[in-house]
Amino acid sequence: MKENKTRNLVFSALIAAIYVVLTLLLRPISYGPIQFRVSEALCVLPYFTPAAIPGVFIGCLISNLLGGAVLMDIVFGSLATLIGAIGSWLLRRNRWLVSLPPILSNTLIIPWVLKFAYGSEDLVWYMMITIGIGEILAIGVLGQLLISVLAKYRKMIFG
């Protein structure tokens, strides 16, 4: 039992660290109304383990803190990722639906955050399109590729 808790804690920390590193390494494309946050591909990991839920949430939270986001973005941007990760866990029985909750939560929440937290003058529907495209590419494409690769090693990695 203790070994399982330790394993989940390590998975969560590792996922958070990878999320932060990917976001900050690719900083120029990770923030703003037109963004392609590659680290969002990790939002499909609840397909394999519930430890991914706090991992991507904490990773997003730290990335937003280190990336210079304002408080509203830190809170609601991270919550959008948390909602998406929980939704992915709930749909884990269907690998193709796992991508849907994080795509939708970020597409619907982040444009409002950008409007109210940063005073973006872009229209909300326009930001929903641009954020949505970035999320579809990061989670729907890269995330599904990640699932394909990790599925081959599922038992070895995730037990």
Query: What local confidence, expressed as pLDDT, does residue 1 receive?
Result: 63
Tell me the percentage of the chain whose pLDDT exceeds 70.
Answer: 99
Query: What local confidence, expressed as pLDDT, does residue 31 receive?
Result: 87
Confidence at 2, pLDDT banded by 50, 70, 90 = confident
**For residue 137, what are its two tokens?**
């590419």
Which residues, in sequence order, are CB contacts of 152 under 8 Å at separation 6+?
none
Q: Which of 63, 53, 34, 50 is nearest to 138 (CA)?
A: 34
Residue 46 backbone phi and psi in degrees, to 5: -60, -15
2-25 and 52-66 helices cross at what angle (nearest 10)?
A: 30
The model's pLDDT over 36-75, given as tens digits with 9 standing for 90+, comes to 999 999 999 999 999 999 999 999 999 999 999 999 999 9
* Structural domain total, the chain: 1
Q: What domain range is 82 assigned to?
A: 2-29+37-158
Query: What local confidence, expressed as pLDDT, does residue 117 receive?
Result: 93
Does the pTM of the predicted model rise above 0.85? yes
Residue 73 backbone phi and psi in degrees, to 5: -70, -40
